[in-house]
Homo-oligomer: A and B are copies of this chain.
Amino acid sequence: MSTFKANARVYPLPPNPVAVICLDGCADEYLSTAIARGKMPRLASMARDGWRGMVRGALPSFTNVNNSSIVTGVPPRVHGICGNFFLNPETGEEVMMNGPEFRRCGTLLTAAADAGRKVAFITAKEKLRTVLGDGVVERGGIVFSSEKVDEAKKETHGIENAMEIIGKPRPEIYSGDASIYVLEAGAALAEQGVADFLYLSTTDFMQHKFGPEAPEILDFHAKIDAAIGRLLDAGCTVALTADHGMNAKNDAAGDPKVIFVESLLREKFGNALRVICPITDPYVVHHGALGSLVMVHLDDPALSSAVADFLFSQKGITEVLTREQAVDKLELAPDRIGDLVVLSGRDVVVGKSPEHHDLSVLKGGLRSHGGRYEEMVPLVISKPLTPDLKRVAEGDPRNFDVFFFACSV
């Protein structure tokens, strides 16, 4: 079997097409419930005939961080994407990492294209296309988002008339359709032999809105399952994982349980500090920029220990790590994180200040992610594991091993 190499990892290249799906925000409970209710018969067959288990994602358990890890096969310490935003230590400015120039290594998508595969990378959100899709079109591959599928052109996206090929018009980004479209588009490309190495990455609009039992999300998963079936029927090895889990973050009255870290700290330690919410992105309706991990930047590093102790003593805060500890334990890049990295509990989010977050966008309560309780995610593969892969799975497998699994079964 031929192989290809990316970021010091060697991947086999199987003769059949490979489709890796990152189902954004897919906590394992979504799959268990959808399978139990008979909504995902094709995924249930994958779990029966292949493998289903739990893998550990990268922290912060955010979308860009984990999608970056999945397409590079390495942790954030190597690829450098430790959130959507970071505080540039050289300029003191908050920077959105919305281009490939922030990534510090190549992707396995371009490496697979170099090895002769017909690569297609389809996302729901346009931001992921721009951050991770570089170099693929130049190598004959296809990269577009369902959000802007109508803008796809041969020279910039590797595909002309995408909507005709897929057979559906552009979906609304704030919808379940934006994600279903990604999988249907991948299925169409696989069916037509236009692509044989696919990365299909959805958006978690639905998961932010609905718990596993909601009729809306059961219907959503039924459609996801039908598209998975098309990929399987097209001969693909299918591997499904998630970037992060998802938990409700509300009190008994249904209001978000928020700790405003910057307000709290400024009251006690003064204004010479800043809090960055690295979940912040242009799609605020999902979560109001509230997640379960924030970065604290201190003008005076000597305050670090006192601030850390104070923060850790707050109810709902579960971990406070120094920059060095976060590099070591969370595998983060030292110049892309705060002096302190702060994580909150299963039902708690951390924010900046009340003024900074518009909670009115959160209809029906907050569901979010970013912390330790959204770190573990499912991995489902359509073929059984080889003995070698079983040994990997019996250790501490990661969601960013998904391409290795998919190419090796």
Contacts and interface: CB of A to CB of B under 8 A. Distances in A.
Given A248-B394, A252-B395, A395-B250, A54 B29 contact: yes
Contact of A211 (B32, B33, B252, B394): B394
Nearest to A378: B32
Contacts of A47: 32-33, 36
Interface string A52-76: 1110100000000000000000000
Interface stretch (A5-13, A137-145, A311-319): A311-319
A328 B309 CA distance: 13
A293 to B, nearest CB: 16
A262 interface: no
Contacts of A328: 313
Given A36-B44, A318-B329, A53 B212 contact: yes
Interface residues of A, number: 42
B48 A38 contact: yes
A32 B52 contact: yes
Contact of A36 (B52, B318, B325, B376): B52
Nearest to A391: B252
A35 B44 CA distance: 9
A28 interface: yes
A78 to B, nearest CB: 17
Nearest to A251: B395
Contact of A394 (B33, B36, B44, B250): B250
Nearest to A372: B372
A52 B325 CA distance: 36
A362 to B, nearest CB: 14
Interface in A52-108: 52-54, 56
A372 B318 CA distance: 11
A396 interface: yes
Contacts of A394: 211, 248, 250, 365
Contacts of A36: 35, 44, 47-48, 52
A177 interface: no
A186 interface: no
Contacts of A127: none
B52 A33 contact: yes
A230 B212 CA distance: 28
Contacts of A212: 53
A48 B53 CA distance: 20
A345 B211 CA distance: 28
Given A36-B47, A47-B33, A329-B318, A347 B396 contact: yes
Given A28-B32, A37-B48, A346-B396, 9 more contacts: A28-B54, A36-B52, A51-B213, A250-B394, A250-B395, A251-B395, A252-B391, A313-B328, A347-B395
16 contacts: A28-B28, A28-B54, A32-B32, A33-B47, A33-B53, A36-B47, A53-B212, A248-B394, A248-B395, A250-B394, A252-B391, A252-B395, A312-B325, A347-B396, A365-B394, A373-B376
Q: Please list the 6 inter-chain residue pairs (A to B) with the smallest Cβ-Cβ separation, ordered nearest first.
A: A36-B47, A248-B394, A347-B396, A36-B48, A346-B396, A347-B395
